[in-house]
Structure 1
Amino acid sequence: MTTRVMLVSPAAGDAQREVRFDDDGPLNEAGLRRVRAAAGALPPADRVFASPSVRCRRTAEGLGLPVRPAGELAGCAMGGWRGRTLAEVADAEPAAVSAWLADPDFAGHGGESLRQLCDRIADWLARLAPDAGRVLAVVEPDVVRAAAVCALRVPAEVFWRLDVRPLTVTELSGRGGRWNLGLGWELSRR
């Protein structure tokens, strides 16, 4: 039987506007308005999850979804870069930022490498597969990217070539470890 996974990226917060490594900040007012406007747009699901971040939980709540934080769906752990802007880190550690963007095994910030993130999300998808049905998860954009890398079985270097806009849905459907990918559609009441 087929498993369908709908990955919803959260509304933007100030960290995204400032290009800041997530500091677990809340949604801003514009993001909250967009979430409220999209409430009721998703089909029912057998299982619903959310990344443990504040913005994913608030997005799920605003969409009227039960909030069940799932630690395995957390965004990439950024270690010492957490809370800093990309510009700040690039000024202080230009070689490290270059390595982070080029090497999916880089973890010089003291957190998780992109390959580790992709592997973690691949494991989560593998555990879902035997239990058919519809799964909905509000997750950080990097988790959506990691799921797409896994679904397409492409090298982790592709991660940065995938754009995930706020409040979009990316769908995976499959069985037996083979996934089809439905690219992000904007979440709005239809």
Structure 2
Amino acid sequence: MQIAPAAQARTERALEPLARWLAYLGGVILVAVAIMVVASIIGRRLIFAGLGPIPGDYELVEAGVGIAVFYFLPWCQLRRGHVTVDILVDTLPKRGKALFGFLGDSLIALAAGVIFWRFYLGFGEKFPYFSEAWRDRLAMGYKPFFPETSYELEIPIWIIYGLALIGAAVFFVVSLYAVWRSLNWLLAGEEGRTTPEESPI
């Protein structure tokens, strides 16, 4: 007997478009970073013609790639796209595979929780707003003495942290859902198996 299979199916239908569009946004960010890198390299080669590198290109690559990675993680976890070593697992019966899938999803959810927690604390250290009372309520820690910025472009670091934190939060939620889903598969005795309650009407 599975745990609320109909609610699980509804949850996946709600999370799937969120994770997909976040991954699309991550792809757009990576494409923009790649175009910027090409333009910066061409500018370096054409300094004699009055061009030059894009200011802060290293900072933009660092921030863009970091944010994009967190935007890809929810979709990857929802689709079970993480790298696995299946030499042992492939020899197991279906229930054994479901057990290993459940353990793997549980460990990823634990890691996602730690990542989200640490990122939230890091965001709190960089975020220079809110009163001390509100910061205490939100467990954000002490307000920084000055807003930290990137070296060249002086982009506020809290903005980069905040954008990445969105991806980390969705990754954590999707990871918790994946544990629920894999537990239901384990109870059903096979990964991907649905019950009549999950089947579309």
Using the size of structure 1 for normalisation, the TM-score is 0.29
- TM-score normalised to the size of structure 2? 0.27
Higher helix share: 2
Higher radius of gyration, 1 or 2: 2
More strand by share: 1
